[in-house]
Amino acid sequence: MENKFRNWDYFSSPVIEGRILIIWRKVFVKVSVLEENAQFVHCLVKMAGHKSSFNITFVYGRNTLEERKTLWNGLSQIVCPATPWLVLGDFNDIFTARGRNGGNSVSSTEMVYSSQWLSLSNLEALKSMGSFYTWTNNQDGEARIYSKINHAFINEEWLDGFPNTTAVFKWEPYSDHCACTISILPVEDLGTKPFRFYNFWTEHRNFKQLVLDNWRQPLKGSGLKAIYLKSMRLKHKLKRFNLDCFGDLGANFHSAKSAYQEAMFQAQLQPHNMTFQDRVKISSEEFRFQEKLYHSFLTQRSKINWLRQGDMNTAFFHTSLKKRKADNSIA
């Protein structure tokens, strides 16, 4: 290492039995090993130019299901509160039924420990490009097997800090595994945001008249060009309508909720005071209205239609929005 990588630093140890080697450029990266065992190394990484650090766990799983129990137990003990976390490497395990092509079909027994760990860890598969399968046995004919046993997972904090992150899997001529490159691109202002029509606009009493008045206004043009020009004109009217009549739905919802809670608190102190009872009634109606708008907004943005009215699982909604935005983005 000292002869070939003079400006680099590296880590390996007898604990990981020489199975994992981590190297990094000294000038650009500082790596602190927090935990290690024979199947993973958990690190704290600080890159030059970044204000905050993040966690990376490098994994090299054992070959048998029984041996990998230690891997899942060890990974489940790792806690990264409010810190971006990336977990990647050769897990030697499959997480989905379509994770193998050729050979024996994937059984539920093979996935039980890996799937259980993933569901409890609050991690998501990182958006990936390149080859879906990441390992092959290189056998000829019907004996050829392809498997997806190399993976990359991230938590929600990583998605917040590095939204334009992609795992690229490519076959290399020197290994039966794909090489995995984690690509992180800077967030750039792409200019004008696309126009989105929100269903909750139709709940407003002035919505229909606003559309009709704008559409009936004359303009120069005919055919499809006229429809385009009218739509563009209406778009700007609706954006102003949304800003003036609805504003920040999230802030309005939480404000209405706080006002309702405060009214309930005051009413219990004077249970027979009609003024406080009326205030509870008014604040309750306002809260229900804002809740309905906010639900409509979140449901439409996340495209999750099965969530029942009243089940205000906003953390799940926001996580789904971030994941969907990251999957659909082209950086």
* Residues 115 and 240 grouped into a single domain: no
329 in any annotated domain: no
Same domain, 174 and 244: no
Q: Are 132 and 258 in the same domain? A: no
Place of tokens 């739509």: 231
Q: Are 21 and 12 in contact (CB under 8 A)?
A: yes
Q: 331 lies in a domain?
A: no
Last residue of a domain, one of 127, 152, 184: 184
The angle that helices 249-269 and 274-302 make with each other, rounded to 10 degrees, is 150
Q: What's the CA gap between 53 and 44, in Å, rounded? A: 7
Q: 90 and 239 share a domain? A: no
Q: Do 283 and 177 sit in the same domain of this protein?
A: no
CA–CA separation, 307 vs 299, rounded Å? 8
Range of the domain at 177: 8-184
Together in a domain, 43 and 133 = yes
330 within domain boundaries:
no
Q: Is residue 189 part of a domain?
A: no
**CA distances (Å), origin 275, targets 173, 268, 286, 288, 312:** 79, 12, 17, 20, 29
Q: Beta-carbon neighbour count of residue 43 at 10 Å?
A: 21
* Residue 2 resides in a domain: no
**Considering the domain boundaries, does residue 261 fall inside one?**
yes
Cα Rg, the chain, nearest whole Å:
27
Does one domain contain both 157 and 246?
Answer: no
Mean pLDDT of successive 10-residue stretches along the chain, which has 331 residues: 88 92 94 95 93 94 94 93 94 93 91 91 91 93 94 93 92 91 80 78 90 90 88 91 87 90 85 84 90 84 52 65 75 63
- CA 251, 253, 256, 258 dihedral sign is negative
Same domain, 82 and 208: no
Does residue 218 share a domain with residue 175? Answer: no
**Do 137 and 174 reside in the same domain of the chain?**
yes
The CA dihedral of 66, 72, 77, 82, to the nearest 10 degrees, is 180
Q: What is the pLDDT of residue 148?
A: 96
Query: Which residue, 123, 155, 184, sits at the end of a domain?
Result: 184
Q: Are residues 174 and 264 in the same domain?
A: no
Taken in order 27, 29, 30, 32, is the CA torsion positive or negative? negative
Domain count of the chain?
2
Q: Is residue 1 part of a domain?
A: no
145 with 240, same domain? no
CATH of the domain at 128: 3.60.10.10
Do residues 169 and 178 lie in contact, with contact meaning Cβ atoms separated by under 8 Å? yes
pTM summary value: 0.65
Give the Cα separation of 288 and 285 in Å (integer). 5
The answer to the question of residue 167 being in a domain is yes
Neighbouring CB atoms inside 10 A of 85's CB total 22
Specify which residues 155 forms β-bridges with: none
Q: What are phi and psi of 167, to 5 degrees?
A: -100, 125
- Integer Cα distance of 147 and 72 in angstroms: 20
